[in-house]
């Protein structure tokens, strides 16, 4: 837990315009960060970076780090949610991850490893979770080297922030690159109102993964995500003719609309879409 008041003096400000990164972390956009990035890019351990950074986003809620990391993964891996975000677009947003755990609970308490696993599985991904206690530095390094050379895998780390010298408690964020000589990983921190993306030593990340999540009593770790092989195509969105209201609507569709609130919502969104003039 981050303290509301950073000293005993109540006169101190309790609001923050970001936090300074600790010395253990290298700001992605600093001179050193740019140098590390260039070298890592040349080494081939930044293949995962392009699709992930294309989908880098800020968590909309203070406890959404897990959900936002998963949204980044789903959009980076080009998963079709098979349902609308805003008409006419199908697109993943945190608010669409309302299964496994009520969204309201996730907003208040965040999610744990098991819940994130469930959410990933429910949304067309094949998750592979590893508990921090089973990790050695060598094993983690091999894994990071493997995933950063690919663009069809997303690696989400779950770690205690204090082991990285940062304020705050448990956190989820994707790893987007690796610098071999300096043994550094690039964290695309979803809490961008707090810390910018940064490089940190693999060793510190491992310590963070071995941190015990006090809510579950278990160590943290990581989840590796790929698109599930057995993923069926998303249900085709309804066509306009299917949804046309009026004399042509057949009985079975009419019954569906009456019984299925999701389909009804889609219909309402189409109606709304008709009123809109552009979709940029």
Is residue 10 a contact point for its own copies (CB under 8 A)?
Answer: yes
Among residues 48, 171, 179, 198, which one is catalytic?
A: 171
Is residue 22 a contact point for its own copies (CB under 8 A)?
Answer: no
In the range 234-263, which residues lie near its own copies by CB under 8 A?
234, 236-237, 239-241, 244
Crossing angle between the packed helical segments 261-275 and 251-259, to the nearest 10 degrees: 100
Secondary structure of 64-124 in the HEC alphabet? CHHHHHHHHHHHHCCCCCCCEEECCEECCCHHHCCCCCCHHHHHHHCCCHHHHHHHHHHCC
Q: How far is the CB of 1 from its own copies (least distance, A)?
A: 5
Are the beta carbons of 141 and 92 closer than 8 angstroms?
Answer: no
Please give the distance of CA 243 from its chain centroid, rounded to a whole number. Answer: 34
The 10 Å CB-count burial string (b at 16+, else e) for 128-160 is ebbebeebeeeebbebbeebbeeeebbbbbbbb
In the range 133-152, which residues lie near its own copies by CB under 8 A?
151
Q: How far is the CB of 139 from its own copies (least distance, A)?
A: 26
Among residues 25, 48, 65, 211, which one is catalytic?
A: 65
Is residue 170 a contact point for its own copies (CB under 8 A)?
Answer: yes
155 beta partners: 175, 224
Q: Assess whether 134 carries a catalytic annotation.
A: no
Q: Assess whether 65 carries a catalytic annotation.
A: yes
Output the six-digit token pair for 87: 């008409």
Taking the CA atoms of 127, 158, 37 and 17 in sequence, report the sign of the dihedral they define. positive
- Our CB check for its own copies shows the closer of 78 and 134 to be 78
Which of 20, 29, 98, 139 binds its own copies (CB under 8 A)? It is 29
Among residues 25, 179, 189, 198, which one is catalytic?
A: 189
- Our CB check for its own copies shows the closer of 40 and 141 to be 40
Q: How far is the CB of 261 from its own copies (least distance, A)?
A: 18
Give the x-and-dash track for 219-238 against its own copies (CB under 8 A).
---------------x-xx-
Q: Assess whether 118 carries a catalytic annotation.
A: no
Is residue 278 a contact point for its own copies (CB under 8 A)?
Answer: yes
End-to-end CA gap in the chain: 40
Could you tell me which stretch among 33-41, 126-134, 220-228, 252-260 binds its own copies (CB under 8 A)?
33-41
Which of 22, 24, 43, 85 binds its own copies (CB under 8 A)? It is 85
Q: Which amino acids are annotated catalytic?
A: 65, 171, 189
């Amino acid at each position: 837990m981050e303290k509301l008041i950073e000293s005993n003096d109540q006169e101190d400000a309790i609001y923050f315009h970001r936090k300074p990164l600790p010395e253990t972390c290298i700001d992605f956009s600093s001179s050193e960060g740019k140098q590390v990035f260039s070298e890592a890019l040349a080494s081939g351990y930044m293949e995962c970076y392009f699709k992930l950074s294309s989908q880098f986003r800020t968590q909309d809620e203070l406890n959404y780090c897990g959900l936002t990391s998963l949204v980044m993964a789903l959009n980076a891996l080009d998963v079709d949610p098979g349902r609308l975000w805003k008409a006419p677009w199908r697109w993943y947003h945190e608010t669409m991850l309302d299964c496994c755990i009520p969204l309201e609970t996730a907003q208040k308490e965040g999610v744990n490893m098991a819940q994130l696993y469930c959410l990933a599985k429910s949304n067309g991904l094949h998750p592979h979770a590893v508990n921090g206690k089973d990790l050695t530095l060598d094993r983690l390094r091999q894994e990071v080297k493997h995933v950063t050379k690919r663009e069809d895998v997303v690696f989400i780390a779950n770690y205690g922030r204090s082991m990285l010298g940062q304020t705050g408690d448990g956190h989820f964020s994707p790893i987007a690159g690796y610098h071999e000589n300096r043994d550094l990983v690039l964290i695309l921190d979803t809490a961008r109102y707090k810390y910018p993306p940064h490089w940190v030593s693999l060793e510190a990340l491992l310590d963070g993964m071995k941190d015990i999540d006090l809510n579950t009593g278990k160590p943290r770790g990581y989840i590796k995500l790929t698109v599930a092989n057995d993923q069926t195509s998303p249900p085709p969105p309804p066509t306009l003719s299917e949804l046309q209201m009026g004399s042509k609507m057949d009985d079975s569709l009419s019954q569906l609309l009456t019984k299925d609130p999701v389909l009804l919502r889609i219909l309402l969104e189409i109606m709304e879409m008709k009123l809109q003039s552009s979709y940029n």
